[in-house]
């Protein structure tokens, strides 16, 4: 009796979580009411970076984007309109309900709203920021990577480590250059400090149907679902980037770092944090890394830049 009940339970989980079996290689084109792979992000005043982020991830196989605008004042709509009209982007206005609220709470609410929207529409949902690029290390795209888990319907989340990048000494990114081809200096692979794990931090690609509650970087899974890797990396070792990683362009170039990044952080952090940020800037420009160069020619073509 117990065995029969367990079989029934697993069948229910399998059915509810496998709304999509076939993969759609055409970005923006729906398979009846579903996407195999979509992305969710909240943004604020990041118009100069949106197009490259979208086009890179489309190149990686992402079919749809759920983008939450959090009180932007720049020309983001001019950038996103072509994608909205083609059905590639859903734009959700997500104004802060409480001006006193810490911004990360806005993110959590947005992420959980997105998961609810996607529960019956999306097989895999990546939840990241606009300065984070998900990079397959061995595969040519993320669809190829994810297809390796098609036979694991109870896999609820794939946890992906950061690789933090610095400014590469650039005051700004030239107009005819991509961010990913310009920022090529990063922190050491296992970069951690005593107080912050840095590259030990993960973000997630999840099955929306498996998530009970999502937090800033990962979610609580419903019963019987599991994540990979199954345990937290330690603070000083075991940063797992052999198959997939997130290139986190945390500083972007110096113009963004000094005029936007630091200014934002000082609105809710102590002024002593300025010194911490300057030290971190040095840490993030230690190792030259060319992992993104293999994607540059195709991405430049998609961005209509000269090759």
* Domain spans of the chain, in order of start: 35-300
Residue 3: pLDDT band with limits 50, 70, 90: very low
Residue 195: pLDDT band with limits 50, 70, 90: confident
255's tokens: 């113009």
pLDDT at 66 over 80: yes
pLDDT at 15 over 90: no
pLDDT at 152 over 60: yes
Helix axes 76-85, 47-59, angle to 10 degrees: 30
Mean pLDDT throughout 120-124? 95
pLDDT at 277: 81
Q: What is the CATH number of domain 35-300?
A: 3.90.550
pLDDT at 269: 62
The DSSP H or E segment spanning 182 is: helix 179-182
Residue 246: pLDDT band with limits 50, 70, 90: very high
Would you call 92 helix, strand, or coil by DSSP? Answer: strand
pLDDT at 272 over 60: yes
Q: Is the pTM of this model over 0.85?
A: yes
pLDDT at 194 over 80: no
126 in the Ramachandran plot: left (φ > 0), alpha (ψ -120 to 50) or beta? beta
Residue 113: pLDDT band with limits 50, 70, 90: very high
Contacting residues for 153 by C-beta, under 8 A, at least 6 apart: 13, 14, 17, 18
CA-to-CA distance for 39 and 34, rounded, in angstroms?
13
Answer with the residue of higher pLDDT: 148 or 258: 148
CA distances for 301 relative to 52, 59, 169, 207, 307, angstroms: 11, 11, 26, 32, 7
Report the percent of the chain where pLDDT is more than 70.
Answer: 82
pLDDT at 264: 74
pLDDT at 232: 62
pLDDT at 222 over 80: yes
Residue 193: pLDDT band with limits 50, 70, 90: confident
When mean pLDDT is compared over 8-17, 221-230, 273-282, the highest value belongs to 221-230
pLDDT at 20: 40
pLDDT at 7: 43
The DSSP H or E segment spanning 69 is: strand 64-69
Mean pLDDT throughout 183-206? 91
| Average confidence score pLDDT of the chain | 86
């Amino acid at each position: 009796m117990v065995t029969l009940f367990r079989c029934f339970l697993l069948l229910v989980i399998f059915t509810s979580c496998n709304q999509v079996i076939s993969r759609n290689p055409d970005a923006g084109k729906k398979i009846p009411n579903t996407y195999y792979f979509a992305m969710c992000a909240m943004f604020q005043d990041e118009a100069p970076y949106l197009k490259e982020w979208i086009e890179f991830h489309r190149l990686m196989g992402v079919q749809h984007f759920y983008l939450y605008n959090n009180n932007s004042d720049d020309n983001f709509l001019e950038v996103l309109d072509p994608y909205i009209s083609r059905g590639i982007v859903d734009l959700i206005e997500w104004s802060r309900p409480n001006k006193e609220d810490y911004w990360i709470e806005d993110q959590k609410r947005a992420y959980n709203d997105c998961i609810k929207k996607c529960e019956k529409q999306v097989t895999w949902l990546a939840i990241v920021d606009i300065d984070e690029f998900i990079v397959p290390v061995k595969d040519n795209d993320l669809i190829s990577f994810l297809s390796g888990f098609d036979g694991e319907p109870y896999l609820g989340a794939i946890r992906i480590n950061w690789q933090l990048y610095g400014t590469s000494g650039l005051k700004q990114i030239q107009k005819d250059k991509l961010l990913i081809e310009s920022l090529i200096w990063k922190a050491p692979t296992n970069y951690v400090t005593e107080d912050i794990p840095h590259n030990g931090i993960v973000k997630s690609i999840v099955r929306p149907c498996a998530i009970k509650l999502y937090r800033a970087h990962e979610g609580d899974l419903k019963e019987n679902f599991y994540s990979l890797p199954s345990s937290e990396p330690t603070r000083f070792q075991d940063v797992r980037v052999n198959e997939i990683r997130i290139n986190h362009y945390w500083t972007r170039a110096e113009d963004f770092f000094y005029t936007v990044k630091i200014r934002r952080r000082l609105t809710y952090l102590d002024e002593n944090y300025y010194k911490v940020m300057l030290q971190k800037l040095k840490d993030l420009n230690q190792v030259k890394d060319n992992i993104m160069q293999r994607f540059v020619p195709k991405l430049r073509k998609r961005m209509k830049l000269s090759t």
